[in-house]
Structure 1
Amino acid sequence: MPERTAAPLPPPGPGDEDPDLLLRMLCHEFRTPVGALAALTRALADDRRPLTPADRRELATLARDQADHLQQLLRRVVAAGGGAFALVAEAEPTVPLGRILPQVAALVPAGRLRAGTTRRAGVCPVPARRTRQVLVNLVENALRHGPPDGTVGIFATVRGAGLTVLVTDEGGSPAPVIEALRRPVPGAGFSGLGLWIVRRLVAVDGGRVTAHALRPVGVGVEVVLPATGPTVPAPPAAG
């Protein structure tokens, strides 16, 4: 079991209205879907990774979703009229978590993925756009900060009333992740900005984010969301 190291969510600080912070948020938000589209292009061109028709459908779905995300960002910028841009707690459709996980897993190069999802976790309804954005951010972070050939893990389960998704890599100390999660506002530049955005998005849905130091080596970021709605199909009515 990983050694749990909690990184509690501080209340939003006054820096949320800092124009420089908002500009960096916007740049980061564009960078994530663009990076995801680049990774999808590499996956489609990777001859070492034979793609089944199901794989191609998942990649195409994720590419469409990231393109839609870019269009939504553009609409929000236009609506703001060049003013404040922020993460908005918009109502959005829910989908089973199991529909999102294969799309996100497709970002991990062949041979580097470890994954496991319980049946209950797979059917939990989650906000489609925010959950996809959170997991894409975490997987890209794991790929960027882990060793070049290291394993990336994506695991999901239900514990009590919480849906838990854990993204792991084989990087070094979790201290930078913990620090990024504890900051009321991110530091200068883009360092820790993605994790700060993840924390804000998860908080919109009443969830929390914690960091784990893994043994013998590695870092895990755990997202816990309320497990809303039926998590297993209802049993058939007695006849």
Structure 2
Amino acid sequence: MHSMTLYQKLAWSFIFIFSLLCALVFNWNKQLEQSAQDHAQQNLHLQLAEHLVNDNPLIKQGVYDYKALENLFHTLMILGPAFEFYFVDSTGKLLTYSAKPGQVIKQKINLIPIKELINKTSTTPIYGDDPRSNTQKIFSAAPVYNQQQLQGYLYVIIGGQTFDTLLNNIKSNDILKIGAIGFVVAVITLLIIMLILFRFFTLPLTQLNNEICQIRAANYSLTKMTQSPRYSGNNEIGNLSKGVHGMLSRIDEQLKSLQQADKQRRELLTHLSHDLRTPLASLHGFIEVIKKPKSHLNEHEKQHYLSLAMDNCQQLKLLIEQIFELAHLESGQVKINTETFNLGELIYDCLAKLALTAQKAGITLQVIPEICDFTVTTDIAKLERILTNLLENAIRHTPEKGTISISVSQQSEQLYVTVSDTGIGIHEDELHAIFEPHYQARNSIKRGTSGLGLAICKHLLTLMNSNIEVNSTLGKGSQFRFNLSK
């Protein structure tokens, strides 16, 4: 069983509250109308009983012929059918009355309301007992004396049963029915209008709920949704819908980024496993050859195999160091320690460190301009690592008799360092991928490369708030350019 929607809850709540309020207002209005009517009627006939006592000799003398008094009451009722007449003694007992025998069910009434009315100790309307029913009605009353001695009270009910019957008949006529029907129609019309307004106001919430249900069915992925419903109203619900879709789009992007990073990490592990396995296998093979008791190797051959084993050990050590360095950079825990130093001195130190390697490869190293006197403020150790990686990468991909140069130029408050080579170059469609960990260009010359050097450079320059750019022409060489703040 489905739970009620917000609109249904609001509609039923409104109907209940509206009906209750209508009932309360109707009842209050009816009571107010009756009270106002009783107040007017009682004030209008307040002196009626007193005038009857003073103007009628039969009552005024205080000598009562109850039969004659009863006939008088009947006569008065004919003249005023809206009244009922009673004569009660000083204790409230009925002595005679205008009603027919059998219609009076009370033979004694409460005198407190009568005394309140006579003494005017309470405000009207004042209600007294109706001897013909168990209800309370407005009345007029006056004391009757005989030689200064209280004989009883003339008690006149205003609006007796005859009057009530006639009034009820009038209320049930066609005019009042039409009025009542008009009132009911107006109330129903108002109710329908309010329900339509509720529907109008809750429709955006319903549409937003449908969106959320479809998004949940698509496992909170916008790309998996067969359709993308969207409430685009310029209000709070519209802003909420835009926020939900924007949040989901951002989550989709982050999820794709995580999936791509996970894919790259798996590929990196695969390549690293291969690169670790290769020098380990070579190292194991050379040591195994040297260790054989009957290898019949002379001293020169042993030294040659040991040298090859040392080269593989060095390559393995370099690869492991780069793996740890890249992992440390990706963890986000690396800090930048800035200091001011001469950039030219650092460049020449890096060239001197790699001069022997370049000389063995038949490569010329140069600095442009030769007198490189520029001052920078940055992390000297990380900049040295960047320059060393770029130079090593250039040496690996530059053939014999090639040239590698480091040039420095100044533009405004920025220094631009460019590492250029006359090597094999990079295919244009691979330029965007060479900074990914362990990416190898398809024309790469693998002189002990690990494929992590450029990725480390990219991470270090990002930490130093610098950007690196690459331009390359296949067969002519490559240029790596980054900026530094003075």
Cα deviation 1:169-194 (Å, max 9, x = unaligned): 111233376133464x5548x66421
The answer to whether the 8 Å contact 2:435/2:454 transfers is no
Mapping 1:141-220, distance limit 5 Å: 141-175=393-427, 178-181=431-434, 183=436, 186-187=438-439, 192-213=451-472, 217-220=476-479
After superposition, residues 36-47 of structure 1 pair within 5 angstroms as none
Q: Distance in 2 between matches of 1:21 and 1:129?
A: 26
Distance 2:451 2:433 in 1: 5
Deviations 1:67-114 (A, max 9, x none): xxx9xx79xx6xxxxxx9321431324233123111111113357012
* Amino acid paired to 2:348: P
Taking the aligned partners of 2:367 and 2:380, their CA distance within structure 1 comes to 20
**Residues 343 and 372 in structure 2, CA contact (< 8 A), matched pair in contact too:** no
CA contact (8 A) 1:214 1:220 kept: no
* Matched AA of 2:405: G
Q: How many residue pairs end up in the alignment?
A: 164
C-alpha displacement of 1:218: 1.6
Matching residue within 306, 310, 328 for 1:86: 328
2:415 touches 2:483 (CA, 8 Å); kept in 1? Answer: yes
What is the alpha-carbon distance in structure 2 between the residues aligned to residue 20 and residue 218 of structure 1? Answer: 28
- Are positions 1:104 and 2:321 aligned together? no
- Check whether the contact 1:162–1:224 (CA below 8 A) recurs between aligned residues: yes
How well do the aligned residues superpose, as a CA RMSD in angstroms? 4.0
What CA distance in whole angstroms lies between the structure 1 residues aligned with 2:471 and 2:461? 17
The alpha carbon displacement at 1:141 in A equals: 0.4
Contact 1:164 1:222 in 2 (8 A): yes
Q: Which moved more, 1:133-142 or 1:95-104?
A: 95-104
Contact 1:120 1:157 in 2 (8 A): no
Secondary structure of the equivalent of 1:138? Answer: helix
Structure with greater contact order relative to length (CA < 8 Å, sep ≥ 6): 1
Deviations 1:37-73 (A, max 9, x none): xxxxxxxxxxxxxxxxxxxxxxxxxxxxxxxxx9xx7
In 2 relative to 1, CA 89–103 (structure 1 residues): closer, same or farther, beyond 3 Å?
A: same
* Bigger CA radius of gyration: 2
CA contact (8 A) 2:405 2:419 kept: yes
Q: Secondary structure at the match of 2:431?
A: helix
Question: Taking structure 2 as the reference length, what is the TM-score of the superposition?
Answer: 0.29
* CA distance in 2 between partners of 1:141 and 1:215 (Å): 16
Going from structure 1 to structure 2, the CA distance change for 1:178 and 1:168 (only over 3 Å counts) comes to same
1:136 positional shift? 0.1
Matched, 1:132 2:391: no
- Mark the CA change 1:165 to 1:101 in structure 2 (over 3 Å): closer, same or farther: same
Letter in 1 for 2:393: N
Percentage of pairs with the same residue: 23
Distance 1:193 1:199 in 2: 10
The 1:220/1:198 distance shift into structure 2, 3 A limit, reads same
2:461–2:468 CA contact under 8 A, matched in 1? yes
Q: 1:118–1:157: 8 Å Cα contact kept in structure 2?
A: no
Q: Are the counterparts in 2 of residues 97 and 124 from structure 1 also a CA contact under 8 Å?
A: yes
Post-superposition CA distance 1:116-144 (Å, at most 9, x none):
14878621223111100000000000000
- 1:44-55 equivalences under 5 Å are none
Partner Cα separation in structure 2 for residue 123 and residue 196 of structure 1: 26
What is the one-letter code of the residue matched to 2:433? A
- Cα distance in 2 for partners of 1:90, 1:198 equals 15
Q: Which of the two has greater helix per residue? A: 2
Q: Give ranges in structure 1 of 5+ residues lacking alignment.
A: 1-10, 29-69, 78-83, 229-239
Change (3 A) 1:119 1:127: farther
Structure 2: distance between partners of 1:90 and 1:172: 36
Counterpart of 1:208, as a letter, is N
- TM-score, L = length of structure 1: 0.54
Q: CA deviation digits over 1:195-237, x for unaligned, max 9?
A: 1211111111111111123699221111112x23xxxxxxxxx
Q: CA–CA distance in 1 between the matches of 2:351 and 2:439?
A: 29
Shift of 1:148: 2.3
Structure 2 gaps of 5+ residues are 1-253, 277-317, 441-448
Q: Is the 8 A contact 1:174 1:211 kept in 2?
A: no
